[in-house]
Each structure stands twice: as structure tokens, then as C-alpha cells.
Amino acid sequence: MLTSTSEPSNVLPAALDLEVGIPRLGLLSNGITPAGRRSTGCGEVWRWRDFILAYKTLGVVFGGLVTSPLYVYPSMNLNSPTEEDYLGIYSIMFWTLTLIGVFKYVFIALNADDNGEGGTFALYSLLCRHINIGNLPSRNVNSSTGVLYSNRSMTSETRSKLGKFLEESITAQRILLFIAMLGMCMLIGDGILTPAISVLSAIDGLRGPFPSVSKSAVEAISAVVLLALFLLQKHGTARVSFLFSPIMGTWTLTTPIIGVYSFLRFYPSIFKAVSPHYIVHFFLRNRRKGWELLGGTVLCITGAEAMFADLGHFNKRSIQMACLLTIYPSLVLTYAGQTAYLIKHPDDHNDGFYKFVPHPVYWPMFVIATLAAIVASQSLISATFSVIKQSVTLDYFPRVKVVHTSKHKEGEVYSPETNYILMVLCILVILGFGDGKDIGNAFGVVVILVMFITTLLLTLVMIIIWRAPVALAMLYFVPFFIIEGVYVSAVLTKIPKGGWFPFLVSVVLAFIMFVWYHGRQRKLEYEMRNKISVDSFNRLLSSLEIQRAPGLCFFYSNIQDGLTPLLGHYVRNMRSLHKVTILTTFRYLLVSKVDPNERIIIRKLGIEGLYGCVIQYGYADSLNVEGDNYISQVTNSMREHIRYNFDGLSPTSLEGEISQLEKAEEEAVVHVRGKTRFHIGVQTSFSDKILLGFYEFLHGNCRSALPALGVPLQQRMIIGMVYNT
């Protein structure tokens, strides 16, 4: 490996890692191909498709939200509750579901999509595409020409004062980026806690008919169920995913039926609690205790963020239809039935779900509840895989192995490292916390913080992008800031009681993402500042009398305009250059799929045997390039380019150029990539010592990009450089 210290000491390098330079922002929260988007066709057909998609959302989007009745009441630390207490709690849950679930997400947040995608990082991407924040703002690409063009809709004259402030403040930009990353990491924390609390709460139903079954036995059974679920992930869910929606549909239908039966039998006037004055009386009576109970009531809105985060998986109308027509009424009626039962049986709150299930249907409901909990867990596990996959693809996370488990669904992916870490953490949560109240304390922290982050980012979108008057934006921000702020203040008291776990996991993951992004940005800055022009490189080749070695070389670069400085470093030290050298860059586009005819863009660089190659892909694309197939795809595109862009070459010269390419491919193929490092010395600032030092640790231990393309070991070459910070 060649190693040297570069001459410029005041600028930092960009690593020549393969998969993507530093791509444009635009995260799809769970990486599944968008479906059901409106384009053309009969309105009746599209409405029918919306209904089908709405049905499918039950098994993917709403698993966490619709199974929340399993653990909401058991998570509350109630002490001798009265009828008025239960009415107040139901009123809080009703208005939380209505205001946050319906008004915030269904009617407002779903309209703030970024090219059809949702989630906290999509909101950040949307801001990046309209104002110049971050070192690499998001852009669209005209894939037919390969030309980048800005998608910003505002000139500096029309940009809001808030937008200008964010553009001018590096500190504000970094805080905003970290907040967006933290929101995404909270979703991963959700992927740890949802399987734990859902399965544990469902299996706890065994203790009703069999009181001799201990808590430890329930925890052990739950751990075994989760262990089996995680071990099956490598086989994918394609064969059983068709069962997800029927299972959740059955759950969504049966629980409100039992709820209606329950409140008609025990407390027919339960809906008087819809009046907000019951909330006021609840807090006046219970004061601090009532405020602390908010840490439990917040769980009724668990999974609402998935409506927004999974927007790219379905479409806005299908999610709205499913929520308004099934999920929202189902939860309102189910919680009404639970509360009505508990008013007449106030001490049964520790088992608030199974106790209100009538005895004749107890075991069928136990089976349905267990299956629903497993489906909800699977949805969050799959979403976590997709978030990690997208983060790696967008170069916001160290590379981990990602495997596509379905030939037909691009979004169905599996990550072994992520899977086993999730498995260990889920089982540790069950065995370490055990009691549903403690897991509920941890869960509440994740649930409300990601919603609070969404509120902050959505307000920025309203003011900066939608250009809503500040007064109008405040009509959204102030109420939800107060509601969610009160919830946040309540769940923060739960941090010492278990809430520290998901908070710590999320902060650590967000820090890893931030450090990785920071290191990649610093390296890219060096690439752009020290790129070599074609004329300069040509002079370098002439001055050093460089030998042209036989064979074909793929030289991977992060930049598309100009030549990477690492190529100059390679030539100076090796004193040779392959007869055919292809500077290859992978470019991520803000589109779902790139047309196969536009996947590979070839251009001549003005030096004999030197070509530029850009391989484009969208967020739902699999690169689909393996070993020899990858090489043949590129060389075939080069032949076509040479034939159709002969630039006045004679037939003899044209055939000679094609013959040279074919001969080079037959002689030898080598893949060269850069592995640059920061030199962290005495003069390095304290912050860089921490951030860049940790980045180097991550970079040194993550997977190489080349194995993802099936490149044989004997064809790989790594060129190293060390730069002063």
C-alpha cells in the first residue's frame, strides 16, 4: 500500500471509497419501492388501488399503533384509581389520538413529503433542497443527460429570514442535522422496544388462565419467541408477508367489537369523557401524579410516526384512508371498552387488555394478539433494516452488509450485523427490565421525542418552504409544542427508571452518523479543492515519462468534475498508468429507479485510454452489478459510446479504440480504490481529535465497498494517503 503525506496541510482529503461519493440527501425511511402514486389512468381504477393499498398498510404501517392497547394500561403506575381518574385518562388518550394522530400526521405531516418520501430525515432533505444548508445540499438529476440541476425554488431575495439565518450559521446547520439524525435513530430505538413490549404483553396473557405461570416464565417464553423471529430474518419475509395484513385486519376488527360489547355492558356513558373538562379535573385532582401518568398515556400514540415515515412505501391517500376508516375508530372503541371495564374493575389495570376480553373468546384473542405482536415486531425490524440500508447507501452510516431477500421487492432487505445487534438488545430489554412498566417508561421516551423532532422540522418547512405566514405556522407549532412538550417533560422523569436505555442507544447511533458524515464531508472537501484538471494531468504524464501498463483499470473516485488527486498520487509513485483506465463514480439520485439505459454514463476525458464512468441508481434500485457482469456492463456501454461518439475518427481509428478496450479487458483487470486517512497530530484541534479520531476508528472497521460488487480479491488494489488536519 502506497502511503505518503500530502503537501497541502490546511485542507482535508476525501476518501475514494466505492459505493457513492457523498450522495444527495433524501432518505426513504424503509427503503421500499413507492407504490400507488397517481400519474395517469381512470379515477375509478386509482381509487380501487388506494383501497387495496390502504388494506396493505395494516400489515406494515400501523402494527405498532394498533397493538398499543396491549400495554398502555399495564404501563401506568396507577394507585387506587377512581371512576373520575379513568374518565380523565380516556379523555387524554382520545384527544392525544385525535390531535397528534389525526390532525398532525394525517392532515398536516403527510403533505410535507420529499419526492413522495416521509420521515424526519425526509423533512431535513426537503429543507436542504430549498435552502443552502449543509456542505452538500440535496439536488435532483436529469438522468438522461447526467447533469445536475438545482431544485431550489427560492432566490436569495425571496428566502425567509429564518432560511437566511440557517444558511449563514454553521452551528445551526450542525444542530439541525444532528436533530434530524437523532429523529431517525429514535426509529431504530423503536425497533428495539416494539418487539420487546409487544411480544411480552401478548405472552403475558398466559397468566390469566394459568396463575401459576410466573413473570420469569413469561419473560423466558417471550425471549424465545423473539430469538426465533430474529433467527428467521435471514430467510426474508416474502413467503409469509401475505399473512401480515389479514392478521392485523383481524386484530383491528375484533378489538373494537369487544370494546363495544364491553362499554355497553359496563359503562354505556363512557363517551362523555370526550369532553376536555375531564382532563382539567384529572390534573386538578392528581396534580404531580397525573402529570407523571402522561408517561403511560403517551403509549396510545405509539407508531403514529410510522404513518409519515412509511409514506414512500404506499401513498398519502391510502394511509389517510386506513387511519380514518379503520385504525382511529378501532383504537377509540377499544380504549373505550377497556376503560369501561376498568371503571367497574378498578384494580385490574395491571392486565388491562386480557381482563376485558370475554371468557368465551379469550384463547382466540390470545392467538390473534400474539400473532399481531409478532407482525408489529416484524414491521419495526424490517423498517430498521431499511433505515440502516438507506443510511449506508446515502453514506451517513458505516458500511454494513445488506442482503436483498426478495427478487421482487427491492425494499425487503436483511442486514446480519444489524439483526444480531437488535436481537441481543431486544432480549436484554426483556430480561433486564422484565416488567412492562419499566419497558413502557423506556418506550415513552422514544415515542414522544421523535414526534417532538417532527414538530420542530415541520414548522421550519412551513415557514421556509411553504412560505406560510409566521402567525399561521404558530397556530400549528404552539399547540403541538405545548402538548408534546408536556409529554416530553413527563417522560424525561422516566429516564432513571428505564428511559435511559433507548435514549442512550439513539444518541450513540446519532453520534456515529454525525461523525461519519463529518469525516466524509471533510474528505470530500479535500477532493474538490485539490482535483486535477485534464490538462494538468496530461502534463504530469508527459513530464514523468509514464509507462502505459497493459490491462483495464477501474479507478474509483468520489468526484465527477475533474480528476481525483489520488490519481496523481498513484501515477507519481507507480510511474505507470493502465492503457485503459476508467475513473468510476457511483451517483445516488433522488428518484426511485433509474432507467437501465441511463444507468451507466461514459465520457472521454481527452487523454488516450482515459474515460470517465458514472453509475447512477435510485433509492429503490439494487446495484445489480456482480463481478464479470459488472465489468461487461461497463465495457459494453463504452463500446456503444465509442461507436456513437466517434468525433470524426476514421473507421480504422474507431475499430482500433474498440480493439484496445477488448484487448485490455482480456489482459488484466484491476480495481483501484483509495483509503485515505487523517493525520491527527499535536496541532489538530480538540474537536477534530475527537470527531476525526472516532471517524478513523469507524472507517478502519467498516466493510469494504468492493466486495459488494463481487470483485475478486486478486483484482483489488488499495492506494493509501495520509493528510494533515
Sequence-separated (6 or more) residues with CB below 8 Å from residue 682? none
Angle at 550 between CA 705 and CA 582, to 5 degrees: 40
Q: Tell me how far apart the alpha carbons of residues 340 and 334 are, in angstroms, rounded to a whole number.
A: 10
Between 77 and 20, where is the model more confident?
A: 77
Q: Tell me how far apart the alpha carbons of residues 71 and 300 are, in angstroms, rounded to a whole number.
A: 9
pLDDT band at 707 (very low <50, low <70, confident <90, very high): low
Instruction: Report, in angstroms and rounded to the nearest whole number, the Rg of the chain calculated over CA atoms.
Output: 28
* Cell 363495544, residue located: 260
Residue 267 has pLDDT above 80, yes or no: yes
The answer to whether 610 and 588 are in contact (CB under 8 A) is no
Q: What is the mean pLDDT of residues 377-393?
A: 81
Between 233 and 30, where is the model more confident?
A: 233
Element (H, E) at 264: helix 244-266
pLDDT, one tens digit per residue, over 67-99 is 999 999 988 888 889 999 999 999 999 999 999
Per cent of the chain over pLDDT 90 is 27
Point out which residues pair with 604 in neighbouring strands.
Answer: 611
Q: What is the mean pLDDT of residues 188-210?
A: 87
Q: Which amino acid type is present at position 527?
A: E
- Helix axis angle, 416-433 to 215-231, nearest 10°: 180
In 451-593, the DSSP E strands lie at 547-556, 576-588
* Cell 436542504, residue located: 128
Between 643 and 450, where is the model more confident?
A: 450
Q: Which candidate, 70, 61, 75, 72, places its Cα nearest to that of 105?
A: 61
Q: What is the mean pLDDT of residues 512-519?
A: 88
Element (H, E) at 720: strand 716-724
Q: Tell me how far apart the alpha carbons of residues 103 and 520 are, in angstroms, rounded to a whole number.
A: 39
Counting Cβ atoms within 10 Å, is residue 689 exposed (0-12), middle (13-18) or buried (19+)? Answer: middle
pLDDT at 691: 85
Measured CA distances, 6 to 2, 222, 531, 565, 720 (Å): 12, 56, 13, 10, 11
Per mean pLDDT, which range of 74-88, 381-395, 554-568, 599-613 is the poorest?
A: 381-395
pLDDT at 278: 95
Per mean pLDDT, which range of 272-276, 292-296, 443-447, 588-592 is the poorest?
A: 588-592
Q: Which amino acid type is present at position 359?
A: H
The answer to whether 227 and 381 are in contact (CB under 8 A) is no
Point out which residues pair with 580 in neighbouring strands.
Answer: 552
The winner for highest mean pLDDT among 161-165, 217-221, 480-484, 553-557 is: 480-484
Q: How many residues appear in the chain?
A: 725
The answer to whether 341 and 356 are in contact (CB under 8 A) is yes
**Nearest 10 degrees: CA dihedral of 447, 452, 458, 463?**
170
Measured CA distances, 567 to 159, 345, 537, 613, 686 (Å): 40, 76, 9, 15, 31
Q: What is the mean pLDDT of the chain?
A: 81
Q: What is the mean pLDDT of residues 198-202?
A: 90
Q: Which candidate, 578, 564, 486, places its Cα nearest to that of 530?
A: 564
pLDDT at 107: 94
Element (H, E) at 56: helix 43-60
Q: Which amino acid type is present at position 415?
A: S
Q: Tell me how far apart the alpha carbons of residues 325 and 233 are, in angstroms, rounded to a whole number.
A: 32
Per mean pLDDT, which range of 390-394, 560-564, 599-603, 696-700 is the poorest?
A: 390-394
> Cβ–Cβ contacts within 10 Å for residue 145, how many?
10
pLDDT at 13: 29
pLDDT, one tens digit per residue, over 667-684 is 889 999 888 887 777 777
- Helix axis angle, 500-529 to 170-203, nearest 10°: 140
Q: What does pTM read for this prediction? A: 0.78
Per mean pLDDT, which range of 319-328, 463-472, 580-589, 675-684 is the poorest?
A: 675-684
Point out which residues pair with 669 in neighbouring strands.
Answer: 552
Q: Tell me how far apart the alpha carbons of residues 5 and 105 are, in angstroms, rounded to a whole number.
A: 52
Q: Which candidate, 349, 327, 329, places its Cα nearest to that of 339?
A: 349
- Helix axis angle, 686-701 to 500-529, nearest 10°: 90
Cell representation of residue 557: 473516485
Measured CA distances, 371 to 144, 219, 481 (Å): 47, 17, 36
Q: What is the mean pLDDT of residues 269-283?
A: 95
Residue 519 has pLDDT above 70, yes or no: yes
pLDDT band at 647 (very low <50, low <70, confident <90, very high): low
Measured CA distances, 461 to 162, 177, 464 (Å): 11, 14, 5
Q: What is the mean pLDDT of residues 329-343?
A: 96
pLDDT at 440: 74
pLDDT at 590: 56
Angle at 150 between CA 148 and CA 156, to 5 degrees: 155
pLDDT at 26: 34
pLDDT, one tens digit per residue, over 344-369 is 999 888 887 898 999 999 999 999 99
pLDDT at 15: 33
pLDDT band at 207 (very low <50, low <70, confident <90, very high): confident
Q: What is the mean pLDDT of residues 491-506?
A: 82
Residue 433 has pLDDT above 90, yes or no: no
The winner for highest mean pLDDT among 239-248, 567-576, 629-638 is: 567-576
Strand, coil or helix: 532: strand
Measured CA distances, 85 to 92, 280, 570 (Å): 11, 11, 74
Between 121 and 283, where is the model more confident?
A: 283
Laid out side by side, the sheet with 716-724 consists of 600-604, 610-617, 576-588, 547-556, 669-679, 716-724
398-405, long-range: CB < 8 A, 24+ apart: 398/512, 398/516, 398/698, 398/699, 398/701, 398/702, 398/703, 399/19, 399/702, 399/703, 399/704, 399/705, 400/702, 400/703, 401/703, 403/234, 404/622, 405/234, 405/235, 405/236, 405/237, 405/238
Element (H, E) at 724: strand 716-724
Residue 624 has pLDDT above 80, yes or no: no
